[in-house]
Amino acid sequence: MNATLPGPAANTEAIRLALQSWPDVEAYLKGCKGIIIPLGSTEQHGPTGAIGTDALTAEAVALELGRRSGVLVTPAQAYGMAEHHLGFAGTMSLQPATLMAVMHDLVLSLATHGFERIFVVNGHGGNMATTKAAFAQAYGTAASRGLPVASKLRCRLSNWFMAGPVMRQARELYGDREGQHATPSEIAVTLHLHDSLITKQRPLPEPAPCGAIHGPADFRRRYPDGRMGSDPYLATPEHGAELLDTAVSALREDLETFLSAA
């Protein structure tokens, strides 16, 4: 792989795969074999958080990462493995086997065209195990199909909310009120992205403490309003802008290392 990134783009439209033509993509592949996939989820985020939080944040991080690096960004995969949130209205989940098949097929599609480095910006913890399994399956399929890129194909799952600088910043801002689900850090990013969400903010009672995650009925019993130890009322749009910048800066270094690795 060439360690050099394509270079900053003028705007996010320039790096969105959905806005390219196929000759544009062929021309891009002559200089860069990397691409970014935003992966999120459509699930409850407590009584005040947007159901699309995980997809909205993953896409925002991915698009700004693409703009700063020049690497193409695919449309967001907005549905993830959120079975344990099905006890709350509006959640739409893929079963693990379905998400695995979707991610496998997306990777294989890109590999067929000559992409060698698939960088997934993930916004939902429930996607992690299944997506890594999909990568392992995709490597085997690429080899069995005799794809020219099979020996060079590499996939990386990068969870923006778990990047070291992001976690440190969240703890500095919110302490133990960050919690584990419907966190003020992720809600803050959505407030920065969409002004309309600010009207949903309000003080909330003490959340249920963080603990085990099982099926939807058990989750609803343990965490009646959907939160796990979090206080999203602490979130502000200004925090969201700062956290987004921190996430993109951290992931840009990760992306550059990934593209240059053997």
Q: How far apart are the first and last CA of the chain?
A: 7
Other C-beta atoms lying within 10 Å of the C-beta of residue 171:
13
The pLDDT of residue 224 is 98
The pLDDT of residue 5 is 84
pLDDT one digit per residue (tens) for the chain, 262 residues: 445 689 999 999 999 999 999 999 999 999 999 999 999 999 999 999 999 999 999 999 999 999 999 999 999 999 999 999 999 999 999 999 999 999 999 999 999 999 999 999 999 999 999 999 999 999 999 999 999 999 999 999 999 999 999 999 999 999 999 999 999 999 999 999 999 999 999 999 999 999 999 999 999 999 999 999 999 999 999 999 999 999 999 999 999 999 998 8
The pLDDT of residue 229 is 98
Partnered with residue 73 across adjacent β-strands are 16, 36
How large is the C-alpha radius of gyration of the chain?
19
Assess contact for 120 and 39: CB atoms under 8 A. Answer: yes
The pLDDT of residue 262 is 80
Whole-model pTM: value is 0.97
Tokens of 230: 């979090």
Query: 12-253, which class in CATH?
Result: alpha beta
C-alpha distances in angstroms, 171 versus 149, 180, 247?
A: 41, 12, 14
Tokens of 80: 């993830």
The pLDDT of residue 3 is 52
